[in-house]
């Protein structure tokens, strides 16, 4: 009964704001948007370093050599590695130190023993992913392979919550993928406490190279999803900014009768209220 109550509270907290039909006070709105941006950047770094490490690994190894992988963040450093079949040693890794204004990157194909905490994190990753998929398998849609495969990222939310993000990866060039994205919250005891479907469908947006970066891409949310999501921003940064030089995108919010725009140069969300 306790888990059902917690799940209901989670759903209510996620959707209740859309029923207000008016924007929250400015200070609360700013706090919500700042929180979304911060989480989005964590998700972006997790996705990006995994992508780069995979490409780096395949330059000198074969997929058959992979015994497992892990991406994690500690002390301002993102670490992503692939390990051997015995899951005892890292055989290829990239580290990003994100202190300051520039990333400090280091790459290594040297074999090193996994730290005890890394082994524990790997075990927990597979454990909670397995539990989450067993619970919500029928609620998660997998697109045909011509588009890509689902990606999984574990993002720490405070000290007690791990958020499993499930994103639609893309193999097809020239596509910005919005939608088919989910998040599942797990507490420190590995109990699932929340499931969210961030969009009701998959929205592939065709992109062309922008010379000046001023091309604007946008999509609309339904009323039960009033804000820009962390997944919106992450996918925009991965595909729209990094590959096509775009500088901003917009989400139309019918719930609040406004538009939200993420502007990369400011690393922030601005609100365009249609009622004013």
Total number of domains constituting the chain: 1
| CB of 192 closer than 8 Å to CB of 221 | no
Confidence grade of residue 211 (pLDDT, cut at 50, 70, 90): low
pLDDT digits (tens, 9 = 90+) for 133-160: 999 999 998 877 788 889 999 999 988 9
Q: How many CB atoms lie within 10 A of CB 179?
A: 22
Separation in Å, CA 38 to CA 12, 15, 211, 229, 235: 23, 21, 28, 11, 14
Residues 6+ apart with CB under 8 A from 128: 154, 162, 164, 186, 190
| CB of 78 closer than 8 Å to CB of 45 | yes
- Domain of 179, in residue numbers: 2-59+66-273
Short-list 219, 202, 270, 211, CA closest to 246: 211
Distance CA 94, CA 197 (A): 31
Residue 174 CA neighbour count, 13 Å, CB half = 4
pLDDT digits (tens, 9 = 90+) for 13-54: 444 444 456 889 999 999 999 999 999 999 999 999 999 999
How confident is the model at residue 172, as a pLDDT? Answer: 87
């Amino acid at each position: 009964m306790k888990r059902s109550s917690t799940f209901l509270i989670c759903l209510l907290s996620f959707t209740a704001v859309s029923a207000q039909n008016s924007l929250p006070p400015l200070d609360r709105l700013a706090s919500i948007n700042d929180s979304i941006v911060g989480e989005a950047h964590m998700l972006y770094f997790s996705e990006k370093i995994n992508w780069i490490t995979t490409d780096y690994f395949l330059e000198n190894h074969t997929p058959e050599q992979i015994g497992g992988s892990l991406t994690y963040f500690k002390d301002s450093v993102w670490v992503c590695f692939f390990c051997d079949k015995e899951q005892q040693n890292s055989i290829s890794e990239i580290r990003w130190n994100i202190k300051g204004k520039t990333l400090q990157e280091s790459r290594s194909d040297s074999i090193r023993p996994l730290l005890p905490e890394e082994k524990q994190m790997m075990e927990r990753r597979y454990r909670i992913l397995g539990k989450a998929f067993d619970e919500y398998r029928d609620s998660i849609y997998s697109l045909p392979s011509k588009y890509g495969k689902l990606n999984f990222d574990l993002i720490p939310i405070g000290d007690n919550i791990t958020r499993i993000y499930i994103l639609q990866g893309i193999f097809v060039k020239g596509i910005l993928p919005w939608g088919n994205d989910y998040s599942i919250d797990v507490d420190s005891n590995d109990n699932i406490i929340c499931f969210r479907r961030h969009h009701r469908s998959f929205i592939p947006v065709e992109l062309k190279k922008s010379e000046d970066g001023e091309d604007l891409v946008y999509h609309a949310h339904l009323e039960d999803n009033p804000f820009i999501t962390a997944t919106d921003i992450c996918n925009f940064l991965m595909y729209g900014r990094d590959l096509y030089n775009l500088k901003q995108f917009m989400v139309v919010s019918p719930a609040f009768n406004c538009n939200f725009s993420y502007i990369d140069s400011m690393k922030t969300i601005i609100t365009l209220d249609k009622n004013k």
